[in-house]
Amino acid sequence: MSNISPNIEASWKEILTEEFSKPYFANLKEFLVEEKKKHKIFPPGSQIFEAFNRTPFHKVKVVILGQDPYHGPGQAHGLCFSVQRGIKQPPSLKNIFKEIKSDLNIDPPEHGNLESWADQGILLINATLTVRAHEAGSHQKKGWEIFTDTVIRKLSEQREGIVFLLWGRYAQDKQKLIDNNKHHILKAAHPSPLSAHNGFWGCCHFSKTNQLLKSQGLTKIDWSIKD
């Protein structure tokens, strides 16, 4: 991150410019500088804002909200639920692909890189954008949640017709930030193996998302992941 504001895509920089000058963001940057002196941080600095850089503000059609980046080596690269090619698919991501197979009969891919989703207008953001290696939740309540709540609020206020996929209680708590008279909210259990049986299986969010996009005259999402 620069001393002035993060290296983030132009439309997001314009929308979020006030945030970068607020005290909480300065404190967050200071925290991250100190963290990097002592610990390995994921994702790499150049990929912290990857979700925004791949999906400009005016191109967002769908939002998938995660909680925390993966904290293992080589996993996190700035898109929630996504891992780099060559990295083993985490259990939640495997379950997402299983539900897509059940819903749309699309075979699970060999890898877990979701960049093609982001490039089609799916904003894949975690509530917390960084994490200390091997310590889940280690960067929670340091300021990231204020930032990402603002992102959701700005999308709600300034856009229309976005499909928000809220999986699990944590994501569903963000519903209060979204105007459901202007946007579509689909809720289900989290795809984690601990909770998928509580309503993620059979949620059909992928076909439902495409139906909602089609009803607005928008291009449907190609949920298949090319190898």
- Cα(150)–Cα(97) distance, rounded to whole angstroms? 29
Question: 68, 173, 179, 222: which is the annotated catalytic residue?
Answer: 68
CB 106 within 8 A of CB 136: no
If we measure between CA atoms, which residue out of 40, 113, 49 comes closest to residue 75? Answer: 113
H-assigned helices in the chain: 10-16, 23-38, 50-54, 91-104, 115-119, 144-158, 168-172, 205-215
If we measure between CA atoms, which residue out of 154, 112, 140 comes closest to residue 35? Answer: 140
Concerning whether 179 is annotated as a catalytic residue, the answer is no
* Residues acting as catalytic residues: 68
